[in-house]
A and B are shown apart, each in its own frame.
Chain A
């Protein structure tokens, strides 16, 4: 926490600032002290906290599931393996019901997205001050622990999914097939002149809907989690307002946390399902 200027605005701003590593305007590399410095670093800077927490949680997911995978056998499962198998069957059922083509990648992709996003979202339920406080004790100035409240993380995943949809669209339908999908509909005509006139209109419409997919995918997740985080921060502000406000804050904190469990789970699920649906669309001809 910033030491002297502990105003509400300062508190909120501090909580919304990522730990950014990049090149200062004077040419030296280092951590940004404050939002302005982070902005000056431009594109070639990195959010150390986002990267750390997302990679840490992703690795945690892979480690746990890999451990289960090593123990997996046709014998009676027990304990954690049971849980892992339940998750995998849940994902598998969802993929089977929404994705009708043969692609060995979709189900593992869905599993990774679901569990990873779920873990990242769950960081939101950790009281907002705990980890930043610990970090500041360790001398780290900024610490944003929920990677999915960083648009970089959600856009990163959405771009990954977008790249896959483009790849499979071209692979399944061919470059020409994909191009015609972008230009020959929704307006169709038998008259060649009319057809040519329709091409730019169709392309505009289809292009917008194409771009809207990754954009909505990432913004939905980011928006939900950012809003949730924001409310947690605002509730946390109540704790500095005296005993009555602090009590109200405690009740609100609990209520919002319980409600947020739903959002945490739901957003991970929506991201996964939409990814499956987009890939299904990429595989099927219109």
Chain B
């Protein structure tokens, strides 16, 4: 247990070790640790940001959905109203049309009746004339009695 030059050797070894540690060991490891620290902090911040964005998006989606629901409701309501309107309109149109057709048909019928009546009258008249002329060929002069025959035809 003598104090000797080992003391100097130990001091030198110590100095070299500290120098080496300071130069080649401490900086890379502490650098890596610090880098990791920042990376973790960034990651946490990003996660927080993502969470916030997700909440916002959810809120937005809910709002959009509600709006869409309202719009759909409105469209349905409008469609229903339009449907009733259309039915009413169709009813009115149908009625008018029916009435028009009815009127037209009535007119036609009247016209036909008149025409038929006229025709009938003329035919009866001519038949009567023909009959009468058959019967009265000899005594009745067609021209002399045509006035009376015309009156008869008008009465029919």
Contacts and interface: CB of A to CB of B under 8 A. Distances in A.
Given A74-B32, A88-B29, A157-B10, A109 B4 contact: no
30 contacts: A20-B4, A22-B4, A41-B2, A41-B4, A45-B2, A45-B4, A47-B4, A58-B17, A65-B29, A69-B24, A69-B28, A70-B28, A72-B32, A75-B36, A84-B29, A105-B22, A107-B30, A108-B18, A108-B25, A108-B26, A111-B26, A112-B18, A113-B18, A147-B10, A152-B4, A152-B6, A152-B9, A156-B7, A156-B13, A157-B11
Contacts of B25: 62, 65-66, 69, 108, 111
Main secondary structure of the interface of B (DSSP, over half): helix
B144 interface: no
Interface stretch (A48-56, A124-132, A178-186, A251-259): A48-56
Interface residues of A, number: 53
A116 interface: yes
A156 to B, nearest CB: 3
Interface of B: 1-11, 13-15, 17-18, 20-22, 24-26, 28-33, 35-36, 39
Contact of A46 (B9, B11, B17, B29): B9
B4 A44 contact: yes
The 10 closest A-B pairs by CB, nearest first: A156-B10, A152-B6, A108-B22, A72-B32, A74-B35, A108-B26, A74-B36, A47-B6, A69-B28, A156-B11
Contacts of B7: 152, 155-156, 159
A160 interface: yes
A43 B3 contact: yes
Contacts of A50: 6, 10
- Interface core residue of B9, B11, B14, B25 (most chain A CB under 10 Å): B25
